[in-house]
């Protein structure tokens, strides 16, 4: 029995043991048909890109051949960050895009991440249409279809051009600081995209580690502190001003300060918001699992924050509903609608460097000006997540809870959030408080509470 997870965050599985050729063909046919059925006048065109996973090239060939069999023109942009694929969909005026990447999952995983003509991940409604179509028996084709053309293109440079064209991107201020920046490319597409971006931003010295684009990750793919000890040590050895760490498809950005200390992924979006609110007024959107730090910084500017269910498209829809000028997720995701509606580590990098340069202070010092919270992130396996969540909500119905996405309990001293993962067969338990001990105690209380179900 293989592993395959079908959700709004993509069709994910272990390659060859869940995510196999038949799954790739079924979903490519379904998505291609979905694109052809859309009532727009855009060209019959789909963009395909991938991260550096070893299975990526084989998966890409299957996907491209399947799309072409429907008469769809395919723009193959090869190795590229997920946000670059999104930008290419807009540049090419395509009907959609497919990214072959399992993001933070281990290297033996891969996934189909599906984008609509607006370069956004499919909404739950759109995703359900594609998933339903993929479950239908393949119907024989009753009409002749000429295979679609295929064209290769490189879009990382155009993505960087678009970032440099933003009005608040001013490399002169960054050049004046004479920065040394370490990039951990985790042997994937971030190693292709971040160094040229930093050069264009006039960073004096760019040091790339784990830069061989092999898809054999030098450390676990999720940019968490326990995975980045060697990277932090390298930042110290180089006496660097900043360390940048991305996940394999470069839509998440984690920071290491000038002392070689990990800066929580939760603060990437907070720093970006602090930068933009100094220039523009407007609301912000994030998800229910993200830190209260964003609310505290928003309060300094008198700006509202809206929270959605976890999942990038859910945040995007909340942003659009309230006209947010920025959005993000606490996993290191920054969403800037001035560029496109998707998490983007490249634009996050540009914003953070610009902000630090204008503040004229090192990240370690600037970090102390931000709200101080600690999040404990945990995961457990349960046999029936829906039932566990139902019972948990019932036991705590008298408290300040939200059931928009799993169960979140807001407490005076912090919060806990229990929900099914969109990307792994687990239940996630996040807890936040003002100290590591308090956050760990909240998480442990929550896990003990859920564990009582197993004993009953």
Task: Kindly state the tokens that stand for 133.
Answer: 């179509």
* Cβ proximity of 119 and 89 under 8 Å: yes
Annotated active-site residue 103? The verdict is yes
User: How far is the C-alpha of 306 from the C-alpha of 295, rounded, in Å?
Assistant: 9
Question: Choosing from 101, 103, 283, 308, which is the catalytic residue?
Answer: 103
Within 13 Å of residue 53, how many CA atoms lie on the same side as its CB? Answer: 31
Report, in this order, helix, strand and coil percent for the chain, each rounded to 5.
40, 25, 40
Give bridge partners of residue 427 from the DSSP assignment: 380, 420
Q: How far is CA 10 from CA 314, 384, 422, in A?
A: 14, 22, 8
Q: The tokens of 411 are what?
A: 């407490």
How far from 175 is each of 144, 171, 221, 366, CA to CA, in Å?
A: 58, 6, 31, 19
Rg of the chain in Å (alpha carbons)? 22
**In angstroms, rounded to a whole number, what is the distance separating the alpha carbons of residues 313 and 265?**
19
Catalytic residues: 103
């Amino acid at each position: 029995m293989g592993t395959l997870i079908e959700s709004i965050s993509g069709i994910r599985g272990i390659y060859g043991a869940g995510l196999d050729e038949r799954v790739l063909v079924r979903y490519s046919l379904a998505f291609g048909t979905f694109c052809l059925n859309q009532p727009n006048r855009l060209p019959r065109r789909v963009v395909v890109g991938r991260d550096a996973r070893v299975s990526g090239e084989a998966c890409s060939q299957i996907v491209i051949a399947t799309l072409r069999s429907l008469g769809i023109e395919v723009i193959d942009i090869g190795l590229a960050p997920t946000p670059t694929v999104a930008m290419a969909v807009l540049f090419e005026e395509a009907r959609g895009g497919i990214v072959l990447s399992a993001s933070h999952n281990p290297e033996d995983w891969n996934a189909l991440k599906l984008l609509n003509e607006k370069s956004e991940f499919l909404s739950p409604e759109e995703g359900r249409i594609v998933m339903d179509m993929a479950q239908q028996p393949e119907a024989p084709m009753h009409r002749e279809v000429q295979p679609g053309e295929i064209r290769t293109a490189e879009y990382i440079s155009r993505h960087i051009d678009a970032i440099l064209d933003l009005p608040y991107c001013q490399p002169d201020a960054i050049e004046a600081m004479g920065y040394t920046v370490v990039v951990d490319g985790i042997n994937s597409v971030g190693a292709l995209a971040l160094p040229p971006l930093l050069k264009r931003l006039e960073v004096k010295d760019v040091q790339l580690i784990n830069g061989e684009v092999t898809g054999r990750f030098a450390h676990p793919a999720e940019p968490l502190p326990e995975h980045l000890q060697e990277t932090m040590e390298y930042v110290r050895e180089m006496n660097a001003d900043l360390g940048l760490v991305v996940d394999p498809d470069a839509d998440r950005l984690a920071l290491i300060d000038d002392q070689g200390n990990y800066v929580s992924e939760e603060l990437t979006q907070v720093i970006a918001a602090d930068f933009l609110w100094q220039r523009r007024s407007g609301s912000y959107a994030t998800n229910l699992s993200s830190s209260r730090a964003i609310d505290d910084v928003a309060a300094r500017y008198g700006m509202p924050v809206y929270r959605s269910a976890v999942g990038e498209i859910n945040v995007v829809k909340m942003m659009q509903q309230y006209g947010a000028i920025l959005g993000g997720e606490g996993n290191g995701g920054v969403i800037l609608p001035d560029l496109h509606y998707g998490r983007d580590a490249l634009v996050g990098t540009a914003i953070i460097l610009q902000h630090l340069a204008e503040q004229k202070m090192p990240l370690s010092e600037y970090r102390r000006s931000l709200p101080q919270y600690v999040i404990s992130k945990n995961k457990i396996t349960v046999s029936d997540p829906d039932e566990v969540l139902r019972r948990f909500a019932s036991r705590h119905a008298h408290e300040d809870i939200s059931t928009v996405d799993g169960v979140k309990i807001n407490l005076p001293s912090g919060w806990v959030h229990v929900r099914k993962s969109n990307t792994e067969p687990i239940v996630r338990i996040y807890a936040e408080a003002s100290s590591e001990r308090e956050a760990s105690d909240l998480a442990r209380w929550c896990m003990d509470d859920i564990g009582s179900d197993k004993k009953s």
